[in-house]
Amino acid sequence: MSDKTVRLLLEFKRALVMFLDELVETFPNEPDFVTLRILVNDQIPAQMIMDAFIEDLEHVRQQALERDERFFTESNPIFRKLDRVEQFRRVWVQSEQFPENRETMWAWFSQFVKFAEKFASA
């Protein structure tokens, strides 16, 4: 693995942890996000999560660009690999009256797609 791909994976992991910290703060009644943050930070290899993005990158990219809420409400390769489909669906539905929460989630996933695109082309 090149230095560039290692750096991308480290940046990707750091961004994921920051995203999960934000979810923990925004949704304190969702303890699964605390568990997921610990797993992502300490146990799940960033490469595995990156592979989930790359597995269906075109579809994920399109959903992020179109703000297709099925990304959060239906099973997708990322949440499925993390075994967190239901948690993301639940917070998406809870955020219906808080569009800023939804927009923040889209911004994070758009950033993750960019990481995956860079990684795939590295």
Q: What is the per-residue DSSP string for 67-109?
A: T-THHHHS--HHHHHTT-HHHHHHHHHHGGG-HHHHHHHHHHH
pLDDT value of position 10 = 94
State how far the Cα of 21 lies from the Cα of 16, in Å rounded to an integer.
Answer: 9
Q: Is the whole model's pTM more than 0.85, yes or no?
A: yes
Type of residue found at 42: D
Per-residue model confidence as pLDDT tens digits over 10-41: 999 999 999 999 999 999 988 988 998 999 99
State how far the Cα of 117 lies from the Cα of 64, in Å rounded to an integer.
Answer: 13
Neighbours of 43 (CB within 10 A): 7
